[in-house]
Amino acid sequence: MTRILSHPVTLIVGVPLIFIALVSSIGLVSTAMVNPQYGFLYAVNDRMTNVRENFYVEDGALKAHIDPELAEDADADDIIGKRRISGARSTRFYVYDTEAWTSRPISYAEAQMLTLDASRTAPDGYSVERSRSSGMFFPFFWNDSSRSESVISKGSLSRRLPLDEYYQDSFIGWIIE
């Protein structure tokens, strides 16, 4: 047995494979330890306008500069007004369930009934952030620095959120029950 472990081929192939397996398992364990207790409301906008230009949280409730249900009939002469109307029309709301790790669409009226905390950090210490993907070194890890994704994190632990990255998603607030 000692002779097999001291063989050069075993050392050249085996040690790097053990290292890669160890590094991969550390990433999986840290992802599994992310366990937030609060869900959150976010909005998706395909018009490339900032959701925060139209929607905000005040006194724990979702508010709008322009009501999306009335935006169909709205008209504006200035550029900012037109952009807000266009953004209000195209915004879709979602509730992210951190227990099931899924999101579901809701209407603006349903979103207004939620009690929200607009702070970046939830009462349990987690936060939703935009993160740039980065690798360590080629050829073992892919480095795609142009990709941005949403993650939920607390301290050094983080987990990627499976949100639709094609559209601009915007965190609105933590759902306080």
> Which carries the bigger pLDDT value, residue 104 or residue 71?
104
> Which carries the bigger pLDDT value, residue 168 or residue 44?
44
* Residue 55 backbone phi and psi in degrees, to 5: -125, 145
Q: State mean pLDDT over 138-162.
A: 70
Q: What is the pLDDT of residue 24?
A: 64
> What pLDDT band is residue 90 in, cutting at 50, 70 and 90?
confident
Query: For the chain, what are the domain ranges?
Result: 1-32, 35-63+91-175
> What pLDDT band is residue 117 in, cutting at 50, 70 and 90?
very high
> Which carries the bigger pLDDT value, residue 156 or residue 132?
156
Decide: residue 120, CB within 10 A, 0-12 exposed, 13-18 middle, 19+ buried: exposed
Q: What is the pLDDT of residue 97?
A: 94
Decide: residue 5, CB within 10 A, 0-12 exposed, 13-18 middle, 19+ buried: exposed
